[in-house]
A and B are shown apart, each in its own frame.
Chain A
Amino acid sequence: MAIETKAPPYRTFNIAPAITPGSMEKSKTFVANDKIQNDLGFPGFEVSDWKERALGKMGELLGKYRSLKVYMDACVHCGACSDKCHYFIGTGDPKNMPVARQDLMRSIYRRYFTLPGKIFPKLVGARDLTREVLDEWYNYYHQCSECRRCSVFCPYGIDTAEITMAAREILDAAGYGQKYSNEIIAKVHVIGNNLGLPKPALIDTLEGLEEDVKEDTGLDIKFPLDMKGAEVLLVTPSADFFAEPHIDSLIGYGKVFHAAGISWTLSSMSSEAGNFGIFIGNYEQMRKVALRIRQAALELGVKRIVVGECGHAWRVAYSFWNTLIGVGDGANDPYAIELQKQLDHRYKQPMHICELTWDLAERKIITFDKEANDDRIITFHDSCNVARGSGMGDYPGGQFEIPRNIVKAVANHFHEMPDGTTHEKTFCCGGGGGLLTDDLLDLRVKGSLPRMEALQHVVDAHGVNFMACICAICKSQFTKVLPYYGFDRRLIGGVHQLVSSAIKLGDK
């Protein structure tokens, strides 16, 4: 693209921008080629009967998902959500208002699935499904990160993420898939992780890591792979194996297991916590990706399954694994029953690495030297899928408290970003939901505006120089966009990166 990507200016007042229709209509992520589509069992681009396929899929989804059915009917166009989306705030394009994004589909729903839309289309804002409409869907349903912020404010709880997921599933059924997400899903099916790292590369990386950590600490801290009979299977986003700053959190996990004396292992077959099936809204794909984890757990004979720092992965694990593959309780296929027998039910299954670390810290099994983090003035970014799509601990809101408790236990300087930008009202990093691709860089930079404004506030007020989070996508996204706003890219890092600096490593 010829236009240079620039960060939008901060807003003078903390209110929604004036609308600028059409400003993002050209934003288009790369389309999946026929091979990628066919790998996932979807038709190729511009299949001749695309319209029948799209409407057929839409009808099917309306019968399978109560969310979609109710959300199509319930909206009253009150505008409560209209200024809540980070992409709208960053771009001003009115079709990035959650309600308008929903209406892209609602207008088709009305036309083909409701009586008034069939009789008086103009009156109720219904329109025919044309190739142009499909293009518009493709562009704007790939300007939603499925972060659910709008659903917090909607008086009926309408969740645009559900509609975006349905739209992407319909697009896939009509041959109009996104290259980035679909290519990654195909890679997981074949190799086992999003980045396509084969087993020898993983072995290499982990051995190198052990040497680095030994140099650093003088201790033999292990990063085991495919170790049968380990107590814990750690499933973490594959970015943790080599990307900066992700790898520092992986070192942190290793140190926690070492200090607590818990045997653990990674799996080469299932070396990915991320599950892009959620991004394209496809139940079968999501289940297929998740099944690899169940298989790895059974083969390795582990007692516990722990998930590393990854937002949407934790949503899938916490909210969906029990449904999809029976990690949790109540599934009755033979594999799920075997898994239930094998897992140790004194622990939550699955467990987040933060739950594990905080539990150990509370029981004084691991201890910290807080002063080791004294050069850092820290704030915490709630990742959307953790904040609004999952939980931690035994009480609502544990997903906010537990990571903060860890940060406060391992460091002395902590400051919250302004109210309305954290906890369940947190702003997405701008790169979630299958948008973390360079062909959407302009959108990603603009979409991070509200988070950058909030960050600027604590940088100015408290000299914050470290923003901790627990999501691989957030880490990659911020590393990329922070410089556009004049920040150092190393300002972002993981909670377990802080743990790694402060944890006391006795020899156990």
Chain B
Amino acid sequence: MFAVLFYFAAGLFAVGLSYRIYTYARTPAPLKIPTTPAPRTRAGVVMLMAREVFFFQSLFKANLWTWLFSAMFHAGLALVLLRHIRYFINPVWAWVEFIQPFGIYAGFLMVAGLLGLWARRFLVDRVRYISTPSDHLMLVLLIAIGGSGLVMKFITHTDIVAIKNFFMGLMSFNISPLPSDTMIYTHLSLIALLMIIFPFSKLLHAPGLFFSPSRNQVENSRDVRHISPWAAKMESGK
């Protein structure tokens, strides 16, 4: 039944997220609203977006502490995720092999960043004011996922060969059992939960950035006419 949970979670994640992205893509942006000064070419916008995605450029301008903690968390998470690729492929690619030791430290980096972000929600009066229960719970969930992973790596240990068999089996619809180990069940249940809430939560900031008109529009309003379907229809109806 754990396999069923994972199929369900992965399915909801994929369908929910695709649907969200579809609604973002389908909704028109009727006016040119890049926050200027903005790039005047498509290539320039791609560069800007890359600086936002990889370096959090705007956040860097806004607040160094928030930037530092979120950079620690996101970079840590990225490495940890890459490290986990080894559970899904056989044989394991050389570069995944190579990053294994870095991925371990990244786990600490990730949890430390999350704790820093959480501390801000208590210590900075402005951030405390805007925090909702779900903001706190989201951080708790991520910390618990990272924490349970670190516990398995350094304290309780678990049968990772069996886990790999489970996931390889999951992908080929040939289910093999999970080791009966509380930590791994905790870790995996929380991840399933995260996948389930992703398409309904503020985690949509990830796809949202790519659809943000103030960032993704080319600033060429005087040279190229920009018109949305509904506005064009309204015009011709006159």
Contact = CB atoms under 8 A, between A and B. Distances in A.
A451 interface: no
B211 A78 contact: no
B225 A318 contact: no
Contacts of A330: 224-225
Interface stretch (B76-84, B96-104, B127-135, B158-166): B127-135
B130 to A, nearest CB: 5
Contacts, number: 223
B213 interface: yes
Interface residues of A, number: 77
Given A82-B127, A391-B36, A396-B37, A151 B225 contact: no
B217 to A, nearest CB: 10
Given A73-B20, A79-B127, A349-B222, A323 B230 contact: no
Given A152-B35, A159-B35, A66 B24 contact: yes
Contact of A155 (B29, B120, B204, B209): B209
Contacts of B227: 323, 331
Nearest to A107: B132
A157 B37 contact: no
Contacts of B131: 77
Given A69-B27, A320-B221, A125 B33 contact: no
Contacts of B63: 79-80, 153
A284 B32 contact: no
A103 B130 contact: yes
Contact of A114 (B31, B117, B132, B200): B200
Given A74-B204, A348-B222, A391-B37, A159 B214 contact: yes
Interface stretch (B2-10, B54-62, B146-154): B54-62
Nearest to B213: A67
B212 A100 contact: no
Given A116-B200, A159-B33, A331 B120 contact: no
Given A78-B59, A396-B219, A156 B205 contact: yes
A318 B223 CA distance: 10
B231 A323 contact: yes
A115 interface: yes
Instruction: Name the residue in A69, A75, A114 with the highest tally of chain B Cβ atoms < 10 Å from its Cβ.
Output: A69
B208 interface: yes
A390 B56 contact: no
A123 B132 contact: yes
A483 B92 CA distance: 72
A78 B73 CA distance: 13
Contacts of B201: 116
Given A77-B135, A83-B126, A283 B231 contact: yes
B182 interface: no
Interface string B37-60: 111100000000000100010110
Nearest to B221: A319
Contacts of A318: 221-222
Contact of B214 (A64, A67, A348, A350): A67
Interface string A317-345: 01110110010111101000000000000
Interface in A80-125: 80-84, 94, 97, 99-100, 103, 114-116, 122-125
B179 interface: no
A74 B209 CA distance: 7
Given A155-B59, A331-B225, A75 B205 contact: yes
Given A123-B134, A323-B32, A331-B225, A70 B212 contact: yes
Contacts of A84: 62
A396 B202 CA distance: 32
B127 A77 contact: yes
Contacts of A155: 52, 56, 58-59, 62, 70, 205, 209
A73 B202 contact: yes
Contacts of B226: 322-323
A305 to B, nearest CB: 11
A157 B219 contact: no
A396 B39 contact: yes
Contacts of A326: 225
Given A123-B134, A390-B36, A67 B235 contact: no
B142 to A, nearest CB: 12
A319 B38 CA distance: 12
A156 B137 CA distance: 22
A158 interface: yes
Interface string A40-70: 0000000000000000000000111111011
Nearest to B59: A155
Contact of A152 (B30, B58, B120, B231): B58
Nearest to A103: B130
A5 B208 CA distance: 42
B35 to A, nearest CB: 5
Interface string B74-118: 000000000000000000000000000000000000000000010
The list of the 8 closest CB pairs from A to B, nearest first, reads A330-B225, A74-B208, A153-B62, A396-B37, A80-B62, A125-B132, A157-B214, A157-B215
15 contacts: A64-B230, A65-B29, A70-B211, A75-B205, A79-B124, A82-B126, A122-B133, A153-B63, A155-B205, A157-B58, A318-B222, A322-B225, A328-B222, A328-B224, A424-B37
Given A64-B27, A70-B208, A157-B213, 7 more contacts: A64-B230, A70-B27, A76-B135, A155-B59, A318-B221, A328-B225, A391-B37
